[in-house]
Amino acid sequence: MADGKHNSALGAAYAAKRPEEVAAIYDRWSETYDADMSIAGYRHPTICLALLTRHLPRGAEPLLDAGAGTGLIGEWLAITGYPKVEALDISQGMLDKAAAKGVYTAMHRLAMGDTLPFADGAYAGIISAGVFTSGHVGVEGLDELIRICRPGGIIVLTVKNTLWDAGFAERIAGLEARGAISRLEETRPYASMPGETDTVPSRGLVLRVT
Ligand SMILES: C[S@@+](CC[C@H](N)C(=O)[O-])C[C@H]1O[C@@H](n2cnc3c(N)ncnc32)[C@H](O)[C@@H]1O
């Protein structure tokens, strides 16, 4: 991303049709991802971290960073007092960068949207920043996160308005109505990358699994 106004890697990821395409795009982007997102003023990790720390006590474990990317969130979770955090991502290139930061206790190369190889209630908390967005993971990825989060546990995620308006909002309302989750917080829509032009807003959500 040369000028901070148009991120071509992210544009390609938004337009991806298959998980393998997304993985390949992020594999190639992994070298410059952190620097590019810093220039773009990328906000999702900070907002998700703020929401998580409001609802999950220091030391809660284990946590899962779902769509961890290069591990921006893992670094800050370690500093703020969550010692056992696992990373999951579809891109080996991104996971390699995350592993190099030395803050995750396990690395999982897996695709959200598929069945995940974790026990019911395995995690005390799950954080997923910038993943429920165009071309990445749709509402079909949510049920597995709920299954692997323990009752009373917290799921913090961001959802781009494009998905929100295309069935995500209804799905959340349906899960609430049947008592599977409660919605503890929903932020107002915000631009995830103020340094980019033409961004569709996203919102942050905090769900408690019941
Ligand atoms: C915009 S990045 C966000 C990374 C990190 N959470 C952050 O905030 O910096 C989106 C991440 O989602 C991952 N991803 C996309 N589709 C995925 C899927 N189906 N399963 C798991 N990870 C996926 C990508 O490889 C990428 O690392």
- Residue 3: inside a domain, yes or no? no
Q: Which atom of ligand 1 is nearest to the CA of 33?
A: 9
Burial class (CB in 10 A: 0-12, 13-18, 19+), 111: middle
16 lines ligand 1 (CB under 6 A): no
Here the CATH number for the domain that contains residue 104 is 3.40.50.150
d(CA 22, CA 15): 9
Domain count, the chain: 1
Residue 1 forms part of a structural domain: no
pLDDT, averaged in runs of 10, over the chain (210 residues) = 58 83 96 95 97 98 98 96 98 98 98 97 98 94 98 98 97 98 98 86 98
Phi-psi region at 30: left, alpha or beta (left = phi > 0; alpha = psi -120 to 50): alpha
* pLDDT for res 135: 87
Cα of 7 from ligand 1 centre, angstroms: 16
Q: Which pLDDT does position 2 carry in this prediction? A: 38
Domain extent at residue 144: 8-209
pLDDT of residue 11: 81
Is the CB of residue 4 below 6 angstroms from any atom belonging to ligand 1? no
What distance in angstroms lies between residue 94's CA and the mean position of ligand 1's atoms?
8
pLDDT of res. 16: 79
Residue 102 lies inside a defined structural domain of this protein: yes
Closest residue by Cα to residue 61 from 80, 86, 89, 87: 86
**Cβ of 91 less than 6 Å from ligand 1:** yes
The SS3 call for residue 61 is coil
- Work out whether the CA dihedral 100, 103, 160, 90 comes out positive or negative: positive
What pLDDT does residue 6 have? Answer: 53
Residue 145: the pLDDT is: 98
Nearest C-alpha neighbor of 133 from the set 109, 166, 107, 111: 166
